Amino acid sequence: MSISRLLRCQHPAPARRQYVWKGAGMPPEASPATTGASRRTGNPWVVLAIVVTATFMQLVDVSIVNVAIPSIRRELSASYAEVQLVLVLYQLAFASTLITAGRLGDLYGRRRLFLIGMAGFVLSSALCGAAPTAVVLIAARFVQGLFAGAMFPQVLSIIQVTFPREQRGRAFGAVGAVIGVATVVGPLLGGVLIALDIGGSDWRSIFYVNVPVGLVALAGAWWKLGESRAPRAERLDVPGAILITLGVGLLVFPLTVGRELGWPVWVAALLLAAAALLAWFTSYERRRTERDDSPLLRMTLFDDRAFTVGLVVTLVFFLGVPAFFFSLSLYLQVGLGFSALASGLTTFPFAVGSGVASALSDRVTRRLGTGVLAVGASVLVGGMLTLLGVVHAVGPELQSWQVWPVLLVAGTGLGLFVAPLTNVVLAGIRSAGAGSASGVFATAQRVGGALGVAAIGIVLALPSARAEQLGPDGFTAAYQRALAYEAGVFAVALVLVLCALPRSNPSAADPTQG
């Protein structure tokens, strides 16, 4: 019997036991066994280390390329438009495949999709590093984004079905820490690798570094990950997959390139087309759900209020997060003339605060329940307003050390928000729909980020092509507007948490009370 057939063998599921769920506790299904999973004996924390490594690689690759743009343009004689495509197509492919990939994991095996995604990501990273022309690099980046999108939803769903109730909060905390750290570390890591110029590789090292790390993670996943899938045999909803892929793609692409191109008319046309396709997708999936006809996305997921409101909170919150890093990096490098490495070092305390707070967030959640989200958002709002005050007081003479304390505090707020939010959004979802729910959650993050970066371009009131013309004083004024916008976004997220998100009893997340 082949290995793949052995992996598909399913053991009889034990009788289900009903649980009363309150917020961030165990989903209604008692254990991963109810998913029809073929379990391995790997330590769950080893599994977590493997999937967290994959998460870090994918998210770092969203931002690490930014610092390599001058080197890429010089060596490959790339045009400005080609460089834009190197940046945009990765994010486009990543965002547009998340929901479909999550469902594929539910149907055909989350381990299988994770392995395919990781293998493809490693190979496409090597191709990016070896690209002889800009066209090859653009194509390789698109493929890299497709495989990253295939892999990412499996990370959250694997955690969902691998960890028991009392450990899941800590596991999601680790993922939240990686999300926060990877967002900040990307430019810093890119600057260090380019400065080291290992073997004369220059910018190519930012892609080659994925190969050894990815191969180690791939080997670990092969040996330690257990297979899991939805217990019912269903087929892929191909029309739904096409609609959601096109809809999200037509939404993310114009939002990503519109600022650079001065918001031409065709951008608005694509956004209208995206809205129509997403509305069509929603109606189509609702009808398939009512007929129980293997929908790509079961609309009954949205019957869980914590999931639905949590998605809205996620979308709003991520209107501010990538926008914050984008505007800060632009201000430091273009406005104040910092090098990429100096800019990365300036923001590093944010990564430290985020990582430490994420690691401790499960412990805080056990005491405060979903109230930890309000604490995290409040700290972020305070951090943005304090940073606004520092920038206003110091002006263009700003030095790194002057913002380190406030960035450390703001990073703490991010860590206390992102990790618990993941658990709140996904906690009540049955294991059979873990992949689909994870894909929707990740898509909300990507779409929110694209909308936020587009909005911050409008707030800054500068296409990057003429950003240098502002000078330090003009850019300082523009950055203060950006900070006010970001504080406002986080404040809206805080209001949603306080007024709309279902509150959980802290003891529900406490294993001693289970």
DSSP 3-state assignment of 428?
coil
| The CA-based dihedral angle spanning residues 243, 244, 250, 256, taken in that order and rounded to the nearest 10 degrees | -170
State whether CATH 1.20.1250.20 applies to domain 41-509: yes
Max distance between CA atoms of the chain, in angstroms, equals 71
Name the average pLDDT for the chain.
84
Radius of gyration of the chain (CA): 22
Q: Which residue has the tokens 């905390």?
A: 173
Quick: pLDDT tens for 22-77.
333 333 333 443 344 444 546 899 999 999 999 999 889 888 887 788 788 889 99
Listed range (259-268, 297-306, 348-357, 425-434) with the worst mean pLDDT = 425-434
| Domain boundary assignment for the chain | 41-509
Q: How many residues does the chain have?
A: 514
The pLDDT of residue 444 is 93
**Does the pLDDT value for residue 411 go beyond 60?**
yes
Cα–Cα separations (whole angstroms), residue 101 to 125, 265, 273, 318, 340? 20, 32, 23, 21, 34
Q: Which residue has the tokens 């707070």?
A: 357
Taking each helix axis from N to C end, the angle separating 165-196 and 134-162, rounded to the nearest 10 degrees, works out to 160
The pLDDT of residue 260 is 76
Quick: pLDDT tens for 196-227.
888 888 899 999 999 999 999 999 999 999 89
CA pair distance 501, 254, nearest whole angstrom = 31
**Does the pLDDT value for residue 230 go beyond 80?**
no
DSSP 3-state assignment of 291?
helix
The model's confidence at residue 505, banded by pLDDT at 50, 70 and 90, is low
% of the chain residues with pLDDT over 70: 87
The pLDDT of residue 40 is 53
**Looking at residues 306-330, what average pLDDT do you find?**
92
The pLDDT of residue 32 is 41
Q: What is the torsional sign of CA 336, 340, 341, 346? A: positive
Quick: pLDDT tens for 364-404.
988 898 899 999 999 999 999 999 999 999 999 999 999 99
What is the number of H-type helices and E-type strands within the chain?
Answer: 18, 0
CA pair distance 504, 506, nearest whole angstrom = 6
The model's confidence at residue 285, banded by pLDDT at 50, 70 and 90, is very high
The model's confidence at residue 427, banded by pLDDT at 50, 70 and 90, is confident
**Does the pLDDT value for residue 17 go beyond 60?**
no
The model's confidence at residue 137, banded by pLDDT at 50, 70 and 90, is very high
Q: What is the torsional sign of CA 359, 362, 367, 371? A: positive
Mark 416-448 as b/e (b = at least 16 C-beta within 10 Å).
bbbbbbbbbbbbbbbbbbbbbbbbbbbbbbbbb
**HEC string for 84-111:** HHHHHHHHHHHHHHHHHHHHHHHHHCHH
**Does the pLDDT value for residue 507 go beyond 60?**
no
The model's confidence at residue 21, banded by pLDDT at 50, 70 and 90, is very low
